[in-house]
Chains A and B, each alone.
Chain A
Amino acid sequence: MSSSAILPVGDGGILEAVRVFLGSLWQKKLIDVLLVPLELPSGGNVVPAIVSDPSKLKMANPLAPIMPLNSARQVSAITRASPSAERLGVVLRPCEMRALIELVKLKQVSLENLLLIGIDCLGTYSAGDYGRFAQEVKSPASDFLRKFQEGKEDPLLRKACQICEYPVPMNADLVIGLLGTDLNNSILLKAGTVAGERIIGELGLKKSDAENREAAITKMVSEKAERRERLFAQVRKDVRGLEKLMATLATCVNCHNCKTACPLCYCQECFFDSSVFQFEAEKYLGWAQRRGALRMPTDTLLFHLTRLNHMVISCVGCGLCTEACPNNIPVADIFRLVGDKVQKDFEYVPGKSLEEELPLTTFREEELPNIGT
């Protein structure tokens, strides 16, 4: 049974409570540095930053409804070449945490010396929507939380967030719990590992039984799952078949931004950016000859289908591919729909377990009787 403690919410609000908690990790010498979203001095965005000076925590804002990029990628950037020598805390949303676990399995992240701090996610906005929202209101985080408390559907939430059935971080040492708490008085700190238990002990926090948490999570997950099924039905209608698929990809300009934004596309050099796709003139002209015309740049559908093949089994549904698309192609919707099927086939939930092997790196002798005879 994992223990939960109370983080009291004072006059400074929830954000202050979270900042105080993060600061206490330094005071108790539990971490040396922290990767956490900071408000930019210019305003209008909150970006992941490595904080070495706890006084910078007054800009920390993991509650603002914005995820400009998936920080799992940043943890990979920090630890891929060599593990962190200092104790590094990382504050991640659930989809970032799940991507992180996938990246560990893909050998792109070292967990050595890392303290994983997850935070319940109530969803995020597109960067543009967030920028406008942050200008309109005094405190984007508390206004967003107020909207959540009122229980109204937030139309600004990104589609990926509206259908996300994983609002609670998995595999974190510690989880900052918002769901099932009375946000005006206190939030939760929940241990997920032995290391987390020890930290809760060292911080000397008051224990909580977190009695409303499970029910709140179940309610949120079932609402999101219902919305997800509705979206899937729509995507099936919009995308299935060569004609509709190409209509969906009509505005693709092969910029590969979706690949760049994807936390899991980890190849140092993508096959599609390699010299394999630099053809001689006669190749292009030959293809054009054969079909009467040739769309330029070439291989639009090949790129998307290949990326599906390579990544969909690990897709955590963060939706940043759609965000990155300059022409609003619903890349993430397609990945979620296809991912749902493929992941179910292999009973695999990306980011759920460090022990479960990646389906493409392992096999069972007796399986898939329909493939090959």
Chain B
Amino acid sequence: MAEVGQFEPVIVGFFCNWCTAAAADLAGTSRMQYPPNIRPIRVMCSGSVDPVYVLRALLGGADGVIIGGCPPGDCHYVSGNYKARRRMAILKTILATVGLEEERVWVRWISAAEGARFSRTMNELTQAIKKLGPNPMKKDWSI
């Protein structure tokens, strides 16, 4: 249990059906733990994640967002993750250029076999976002 008063970030994860969501399952069935801060959303492909989903989460008050897809070369739909990579690169550049915190957005390629890596990555992400502190957009009623 989290200590009372400690900042517990809300992190939205968009996980591709074929790799990262399967890795989450593997982590679960292998009884590996990962923090409850992650709110996983299964998508069919990381290439189907429009930047507006990520922005909606961030502006809606999520403290972090992670996009999880198949490792490069292994996309179930051949090239969805490559396209996701470009989209997310642009998204991060835009956020950085207008001075919003691009480091709240993570992209990771985690295959269906990597349950342990999934669990480890979610722990690292949660720690990193805790260090960053709450997303300032969370409380802003005027955005």
Contacts and interface: CB of A to CB of B under 8 A. Distances in A.
Given A309-B52, A359-B86, A368-B85, A241 B107 contact: no
A194 interface: no
B54 to A, nearest CB: 9
Given A342-B90, A345-B89, A360-B87, A291 B51 contact: no
Interface string B66-85: 00010011000001011101
A372 B87 contact: no
Contact of B99 (A241, A306, A365): A241
A371 interface: yes
Contacts of A302: 52, 55-56, 59, 143
A310 B126 CA distance: 29
B35 interface: no
Contacts of A367: 85
Contact of A306 (B51, B88, B141): B51
A244 B98 CA distance: 9
Contacts of B72: 365, 372
Given A302-B52, A309-B55, A363-B82, A246 B140 contact: yes
Contact of A295 (B93, B94, B109, B142): B142
Contacts of A334: 98
Nearest to B90: A342
Contacts of A305: 55, 59, 94-95, 98
Interface string B120-134: 000000000000000
A363 B75 CA distance: 13
A363 B52 contact: no
Contact of B140 (A242, A299, A337): A242
Interface string A317-338: 0000000000000000010011
B82 A365 contact: yes
Contacts of B99: 239-242, 244-245
Contacts of A293: 141-142
Assign chain A's interface to a size class: 35 or more
Interface residues of B, number: 39
Contacts of B108: 372-373
Contacts of B38: none
B109 A312 contact: no
B137 interface: yes
Given A242-B136, A368-B86, A290 B94 contact: no
B91 interface: yes
A215 B82 CA distance: 42
Interface string A232-244: 0000000111101
A360 B95 CA distance: 17
A336 to B, nearest CB: 11
Contacts of B87: 309, 360
A301 interface: yes
B141 A292 contact: yes
B29 interface: no
Contact of B98 (A295, A338, A361): A338
Nearest to A312: B94
Contacts of B100: 241-242, 245
A313 B88 CA distance: 13
Contacts of A337: 97
A142 interface: no
Contacts of B88: 371-372
Nearest to B71: A372
Given A300-B143, A301-B143, A371-B107, A306 B86 contact: no
B96 to A, nearest CB: 8
A306 B52 contact: yes
A302 to B, nearest CB: 5
The listed residue with most A CB atoms (<10 A of its CB), out of B88, B89, B92, is: B89
Contacts of B139: 291
19 contacts: A242-B136, A245-B99, A246-B142, A290-B61, A299-B59, A300-B143, A305-B95, A306-B51, A308-B94, A309-B55, A341-B97, A345-B90, A360-B90, A363-B85, A364-B82, A365-B73, A367-B85, A368-B89, A371-B88
Given A305-B98, A360-B87, 9 more contacts: A239-B99, A293-B141, A295-B143, A302-B55, A305-B94, A309-B51, A363-B83, A371-B89, A372-B85
Interface of A: 239-242, 244-246, 271, 288, 290-295, 299-302, 305-306, 308-310, 312-313, 334, 337-338, 341-342, 345-346, 359-361, 363-365, 367-368, 370-373
10 shortest interchain CB distances as A-B pairs: A240-B99, A363-B82, A372-B107, A241-B99, A309-B51, A293-B141, A291-B141, A301-B143, A306-B52, A295-B142
